[in-house]
Structure 1
């Protein structure tokens, strides 16, 4: 049976409407209420112990430590590790911590960027926590997870060997916010091992829930320097990465850079050197050591070519992992730069008030709404479709980029390392004015005659696919899809538009329920089964299969029903010609009823087999119910 993703989407939408999952009212991760748990521990004089992320080997995971070392791990509270332990000591900074044995440089590089934005940092790391007053061993942190903010509760037992932290550690042995933040994120991922390997964009999005852009430094057409300068003046997080070497190991090159490693971008500046302007980028290694040895490094003679004022403002000679290099060297030795901000103002340097954002949560369901890419001509149209209308306001030139489209897939696995991202992408089609009246999904014939005016560069097995595009005034259709058909996954489609844009999902329902609860769905499927079925051209079908009988209204096990032969025959013939008994909106439309993707997915749950197809008996039962809905 297909997974009931439509039900989850409906419940998530209801929670969102009620204000749940916002920065000020985050959802309780795994239904753990920090306030209630802390109150209970204080009243009863207990030290909190998290039974959903217990201090044992399962929370560490497999593959990070050798069995002999894993057996030596001792979980200790901060006061057992340091005599004057506290949550924060003398504020927070990127220099507070260094990476441990875990390969989560991508996460720590993002924390380094997070420390530059105090208001965002305090959203993720509530600073009213302490290891002194009202202490009972419980802490909480907040992350954005695929469209909603969650509040994550942990205990403060940390894994140690010989009383030393084995993962992230603070430069000040009495400071523990980095280790506790890492533990909270490990809980979200499933274990510490699940944090191994990633990209800074993933954590930066989970810290902000904002706008993300990835700049490929090999793309000469990208305005990378301009974007980085604008981002440096906005409330953004920036990170970058080096290419992976011949082995998975983080090999240190002769120039001091680490292969396959994530860095934080901590500064962008232009200086005057020997009468010429030079573009410099400051980077930080989350190891807390190990720096670039080329031009503009800490001991480079190039610093003698700038004014003493600029040198004093920029240069700090210390083995702290932070260094300067030219933008040209950045493009030479790094592959990409990720920029993540709360608002899209860094994109063009203009007020964020000019940018509008539409967010949609959807789902591809095998057999119903998972049509695959355009290569699958018979099924591509079944994918979710979204209509947008762009007007000419605020567009200064015809080729000005004015639309940022993000497609993010949501995992269906609890453990991050088990997630297998599908290849996802999207296509955008221009809707001729003569077709703007169409309500609901555009049929296969539309895509057979139209070419996309824009699309994602390629289908990628990544968490998120992003494109910054130019769309002229007009109406458009956005179709997100997986590369292969019949692949089930949930997704978030986000459209940031500089021009005035109206957006809506192109499968609006034409009956009274925009969403249904269990009671409403039962009523839709079961009420008045025989209503509207008295037709001259009909036959009697005696349902002898007992598995079909419970579907019918009433307690009679064997009943006689009237089915309109001509309509059923047409539907069956077309299905046999195309999808063999697939539940899709095509067969539903032939019944005279237009439904949305969520209802279609619920039908798949009710009538479909695990293959995404259905038996003849189930198909006939579905058609009967659709006819009843139509007659209403």
Structure 2
């Protein structure tokens, strides 16, 4: 049985602080350790079979192949398919592979771009793997997934029909890095079918972990070719796509495929008849099928350039790669993507340094999913991020790029349902500077300083701004309130900047003053004695009757027995399963106080607290807690977006008691518990 998700989240946060999930120390996808599995297979002399992505039809996925084809699939290892299989033969090249039955041109085009960047390529595709030395039927690849690098383990059983690979195959029959890499990414997506259809930008980001920029070519900036030229000379990957046609992947008379992804593999300028011509080189992941217009392989335009340029650029082969002019490129393609670990390519000056910051967050229904600015009453409950921009050397340039990405919480890529997302940026006036905690609703009545152009149903929304030096609040949100999702907010700034969440990741508790009609202890003792046993104590059942008969109003369903058992455990100083008079009085004061707070903050007068009212109730109880803690409380104690009085009282008692536990056992920084101490504490509290 795995540990609870909250425990795993804590471990993940610790691992991130220790550098896990970084380029140099990737996380283990599905907790599979390549080195340990590889060594185990070698020691026991058997070939690895991946139980997490088994060689079965479930890994192919639904709707990709017909049933009769699925029945004919045989999963074969390369050593069975060919005589002398090689992982890499003569280096990794874009000409090594051809697209198969899978509609993943977006992924393969990105691989085409990847092959030009040696450092990134060697990280994604570990080069030491082999079918000869220490072969055990196990391979691994690395991808960036929503804020962290993961190492993905696979076996080398590949799906075939009649001895031929169904999906990507190699131009050289005994080379298998591309087919194995495709299988590893299919595992990340949940199945091969889940790779069907996508965008180049998704794979480019998963290959670099960098910032991504999309340019709509019908709105291309005048300096786009210069930007592409600089990007080609930095560690950037580039891809593009054509507009969708009448039918999927229809080939136009000029050779361009509609609704198709291409890699951008070269940028150059040549002199043609003494006039400069800007050229773009593109690669079709089909491994064939090329542009037939000006500057194509057989175009007469090549006769107008110098022999040196012709030799350097021209290759007359139907290999899927071709040149075209910048003008034809913008006419033939709808959008192009650049993904890079640095934004240096945006500036002609090479001395500009960009600072990267990012935060992971979550919108949760009722607590931190406030919707866009149209929803004035709840917008402020969204996560808030404070950023400070310093003076910039060139104040006329854009100096801040903001990216908002929705995180996938599911293994099945096609089950992810993207919401319409966007963000707003507000300038912080002097009277709000230095304020601790979230800014209130009235702060956001002002007009934002900047914002995303629109709310998009997309994996990522990104905008580039020029903002004056100063302090700002960035508020990411979904368009509609009460839409639960995880996200990553990233900023690139031209100067040193500071980005932190306004919701503090800690809590403070100030015990509220008791407000009880039984304001003297004698009355409380008399009430207590009516329910006690011969030892003048109450157990959980007696406590249940006492509370339900004397404390609740008519519209309450009453405290359940399990709730009362929990109360006894939290207040039972002698660990007897009973409460004595002193312990009962402490409990009564708290329950009565929390009941009064509950009814005071139940503005809607429904007899329940909505999750938005819960935040006000916590403030009224003297408690400052973070958004992440509030989200956990809503998930654990809420039901259909509401908390009953009983749930609220249980929540508040546990929060107060667990805070006391930490205070008593902590050395000021943390807690150390031996195994038996931890079990005693967790099993009776």
Query: TM-score, normalised to structure 2's length?
Result: 0.84
| C-alpha deviation, 1:605, in angstroms | 2.3
Partner of 1:415: 412
| C-alpha deviation, 1:581, in angstroms | 4.9
Deviations 1:42-74 (A, max 9, x none): 111101111111111111112121111111111
Query: Counterpart of 1:287 in 2: which secondary structure?
Result: coil
Are 1:192 and 2:211 matched, yes or no? no
Which ranges of structure 1 fall in alignment gaps of 5 or more residues? 513-523
Deviations 1:480-522 (A, max 9, x none): 111111111111111111122111111125647xxxxxxxxxx
| C-alpha deviation, 1:588, in angstroms | 2.4
Which shifted more, 211-220 or 611-620?
A: 611-620
Partner of 1:330: 329
Q: 1:488 aligns with which of 477, 484, 489?
A: 484
In the alignment, the residues of structure 2 paired with residue 318 and residue 234 of structure 1 have an alpha-carbon distance, to the nearest angstrom, of 28
In the alignment, the residues of structure 1 paired with residue 480 and residue 170 of structure 2 have an alpha-carbon distance, to the nearest angstrom, of 46
Query: Counterpart of 1:150 in 2: which secondary structure?
Result: strand
Alignment of 1:551-630 (within 5 A): 551-552=566-567, 553=570, 554=572, 555=577, 560=588, 561-563=591-593, 567-573=597-603, 580-582=610-612, 584-609=614-639, 611-622=640-651
Partner of 2:369: 370
Q: 1:125 to 1:326 in 2, by over 3 A?
A: same
Asked if the contact 1:582–1:613 (Cα under 8 Å) also holds between the matched residues in 2, the reply is: no
Are 1:457 and 2:450 matched, yes or no? no
| C-alpha deviation, 1:577, in angstroms | 13
Deviations 1:71-113 (A, max 9, x none): 1111111121121111011111100111001000000001111
Alignment of 1:241-252 (within 5 A): 241-247=241-247, 249-252=248-251
| C-alpha deviation, 1:152, in angstroms | 0.8
Partner of 1:286: 285
Q: 1:283 to 1:564 in 2, by over 3 A?
A: closer
Deviations 1:315-351 (A, max 9, x none): 1111000011111111111111111112221222445
Partner of 2:203: 203
Asked if the contact 2:403–2:460 (Cα under 8 Å) also holds between the matched residues in 1, the reply is: yes
Q: 1:174 to 1:583 in 2, by over 3 A?
A: farther
Asked if the contact 2:382–2:477 (Cα under 8 Å) also holds between the matched residues in 1, the reply is: yes
Partner of 1:516: none
Alignment of 1:43-54 (within 5 A): 43-54=43-54
Partner of 1:518: none
Q: 1:509 to 1:116 in 2, by over 3 A?
A: closer
Are 1:542 and 2:551 matched, yes or no? yes
Asked if the contact 1:389–1:473 (Cα under 8 Å) also holds between the matched residues in 2, the reply is: yes
In the alignment, the residues of structure 2 paired with residue 295 and residue 134 of structure 1 have an alpha-carbon distance, to the nearest angstrom, of 50
Asked if the contact 1:585–1:594 (Cα under 8 Å) also holds between the matched residues in 2, the reply is: no
In the alignment, the residues of structure 2 paired with residue 33 and residue 436 of structure 1 have an alpha-carbon distance, to the nearest angstrom, of 47
| C-alpha deviation, 1:187, in angstroms | 0.8
Matched pairs, number: 608
Alignment of 1:30-109 (within 5 A): 30-109=30-109
Q: 1:569 to 1:227 in 2, by over 3 A?
A: same
| C-alpha deviation, 1:289, in angstroms | 0.3
In the alignment, the residues of structure 2 paired with residue 234 and residue 537 of structure 1 have an alpha-carbon distance, to the nearest angstrom, of 73
In the alignment, the residues of structure 1 paired with residue 339 and residue 476 of structure 2 have an alpha-carbon distance, to the nearest angstrom, of 22
Partner of 1:360: 359
Asked if the contact 2:516–2:593 (Cα under 8 Å) also holds between the matched residues in 1, the reply is: no
| C-alpha deviation, 1:172, in angstroms | 0.6
Partner of 1:476: 472
Alignment of 1:150-229 (within 5 A): 150-221=150-221, 223-229=223-229
Which ranges of structure 2 fall in alignment gaps of 5 or more residues? 525-549, 553-557, 664-685
Asked if the contact 2:297–2:322 (Cα under 8 Å) also holds between the matched residues in 1, the reply is: yes
Deviations 1:89-140 (A, max 9, x none): 1111100111001000000001111100111111010010110111111111
Asked if the contact 2:598–2:609 (Cα under 8 Å) also holds between the matched residues in 1, the reply is: no
Q: 1:8 to 1:150 in 2, by over 3 A?
A: same
Q: 1:268 to 1:624 in 2, by over 3 A?
A: same
Asked if the contact 2:87–2:175 (Cα under 8 Å) also holds between the matched residues in 1, the reply is: yes
| C-alpha deviation, 1:258, in angstroms | 0.5
In the alignment, the residues of structure 2 paired with residue 581 and residue 595 of structure 1 have an alpha-carbon distance, to the nearest angstrom, of 14
| C-alpha deviation, 1:310, in angstroms | 1.2
Partner of 1:445: 442
Partner of 1:428: 425
Asked if the contact 1:389–1:476 (Cα under 8 Å) also holds between the matched residues in 2, the reply is: yes
Which shifted more, 573-582 or 317-326?
A: 573-582
Q: 1:120 to 1:359 in 2, by over 3 A?
A: same
In the alignment, the residues of structure 2 paired with residue 228 and residue 596 of structure 1 have an alpha-carbon distance, to the nearest angstrom, of 43
| C-alpha deviation, 1:579, in angstroms | 7.8
In the alignment, the residues of structure 2 paired with residue 485 and residue 5 of structure 1 have an alpha-carbon distance, to the nearest angstrom, of 25
In the alignment, the residues of structure 1 paired with residue 351 and residue 188 of structure 2 have an alpha-carbon distance, to the nearest angstrom, of 31
| C-alpha deviation, 1:583, in angstroms | 5.5
